[in-house]
Each structure stands twice: as C-alpha cells, then as structure tokens.
Amino acid sequence: MSHRPCFAALLCAAAVALLALVSPEARAQFDHTHAAWTALLQKHVRVAPDGNSSRVDYKSFAADRAQLQAYLKSLSAVGADEYAKWSKPQQYAFLANAYNAFTVEKILTRYPNLKSIRDFGLVFGNPWKDRFFTLLGRPQHLDGIEHETMRAPGVFDDPRVHVAVNCASIGCPMLGRQAFTADRLDAQLEDLMRRFLSDRTRNRYDPQTKTLELSQLFDWYADDFKKGGKSFLGYPGFASLADLGARYADVLADTDADRTALRAKGAPIRFVEYDWSLNDAK
C-alpha cells in the first residue's frame, strides 16, 4: 500500500485552511433584501384601514422571538469594515432596519408589563441610551444609530429619518410592513412621509382656524427639516416648516382652497402633543 497522501485529501485540507483565513462576514454574505425582517413585519404589523398608521402585535411577535433574534444576530455580525464598503443607501437601510428591529426586541424584554417605551425609564434604564446590543463591532444604543449616525451632519442629511425609525409609540410615524432596501429607499421614505402627514390625528390643516397643525416631532427636529440643500438621495431641504407644509399641501389639506392657503405659506403653525402610548395592536 502506498504511504503517499491522497491528492484529494491534500486539496480538502488546503480548502479548510483557506476557509479558516476568511472572515465570518465574508463567508456569509449579508442579505441586503432584509427578507427575514420583512417576513416578521408582514406577519406582525397591523395597518389601519386608512393606511396612514400601524400597530404592532407584540403578543404574536413574542411567539416568533427566535426568528427576530436570528435576524438581529445577522445585523450584529456585520463588521465596520464590511459596512464601510457598502453604498450609502445600503448603509441607511441597514441602520433604519436595525433601529426598528432592536426597538421591537427591547419592547419584548418587558412585554406585556409596560404601557409605553418610556416605562423603561428616562434616566436609569433609558431605552434609547442603554447599550443593549452590538452593532458594527461595538456596544451600541438606539440613540447611537439615530442621533450619532443617521442624523450626523454630512452623513445622510435626510430629515425623513424621522419617519424611518420607529419609537414604538402611537405618536410616531407608522412602522411599515416592508424592510427598507437600498433599491427602493427613496420611494419608501417618501411613502412613509406622505402617510404620516395624511394622518389627521397627528398632522392637518384646520380650515376653521386656518392653522397648520403638525406633530410635535416637527417642533423637536425642526432644524433637520430646515437645513436646506439636498440629502444623499436628492431630497430637498426647506427654509421653514411653512415650506414643508406647502410641499405636502395635497395630503395635509382636504380642499383646493385649503391647499392653496398652505402653498401661500402664511398659515400659523401649532404643534400636536405627541402620544407616547405603546403602539400595541391590542
């Protein structure tokens, strides 16, 4: 019997050695369609009949928590070097989906024993400042995704971040039933923006007082909408919230006369109080 190593065995050993040198990220290419997240959203997000708001069925989501955590694990496996090679739309979609998915996970850690995300605490246990997950190779918190990255000057500069990320509250723009993807990102953001402004419980033109009534969200983040210039997706900035009202007059007002009034940009603005109640489907 020959004592020379089998050629096939040598090839196999070489392949194993080569595989060991390849990073885990390279071995499993990240799914930029975010199909696993879309499947969960379609199963557990309930859209209102008018299509302009949604609630989350956290009870049924809890039954699929293993699938959610598997998706979160895939997000956490992405390293900073890999992320840096992606296009900006891919990066933005990744961050927005991560924010929303980790927010759901945060709610599930205490569900059903909470009525608002604020029940975690605004000082100790603050849900936005608690580094309860890993992203891009380091401990991260929700504020780190939104305020330190997505809103950071010169990164994306798109104020529609405020309809992209969902804070698990009724006052928040709706959580959609499709994951954000790079190829559809601008259309998805614009769709969510128009749906939010179409929701008369949160945004509207009042013809009796001739006042533009906007969600308090536009008060808190007015500077994001008044930056001017264009975002990385070409979305235009505004000189004022009156300019925003004029751009979206067709969804904020119900008659041609009221839309004309909004486009004249003379309507005073009042802000509608934000509802921090949990956006639970029950």
In-domain check, residue 155? yes
Amino acid type, 156: F
In-domain check, residue 99? yes
Structure tokens at 205: 């033109």
CA dist., res. 111 & res. 114, Å (int): 6
In-domain check, residue 162? yes
In-domain check, residue 25? no
Q: Is 159 helix (H, G, I), strand (E, B) or coil?
A: coil
**Cut 0.85: pTM above it:** yes
In-domain check, residue 6? no
CA 131 to chain CA centroid, nearest Å: 18
Cite the beta strand spans of 24-89 per DSSP E: 45-47, 54-56
Give the count of domains, the chain: 1
Residue 182 contacts residue 87 (beta carbons within 8 Å): yes
In-domain check, residue 280? no
pLDDT of residue 282: 84
| ∠ Cα 31 141 36 (to 5°) | 25
User: Cα–Cα distances in Å, from 271 out to 108, 213, 235, 260?
Assistant: 31, 6, 24, 21
Burial zone of 22 (CB within 10 Å; 0-12 exposed, 13-18 middle, 19+ buried): exposed
Residue 222 contacts residue 233 (beta carbons within 8 Å): no
Residue 160 contacts residue 248 (beta carbons within 8 Å): no
Q: Of how many residues is the chain composed?
A: 282
Going residue by residue through the chain (282 aa), what tens digit of pLDDT does each one get?
444 444 444 434 444 343 344 344 444 699 999 999 999 999 999 999 999 999 999 999 999 999 999 999 999 999 999 999 999 999 999 999 999 999 999 999 999 999 999 999 998 899 999 999 999 999 999 999 999 999 999 999 999 999 999 999 999 999 999 999 999 999 999 999 999 999 999 999 999 999 999 999 999 999 999 988 999 999 998 999 999 999 999 999 999 999 999 999 999 999 999 999 999 998
In-domain check, residue 92? yes
In-domain check, residue 252? yes
Domain encompassing residue 225: 31-230+237-272
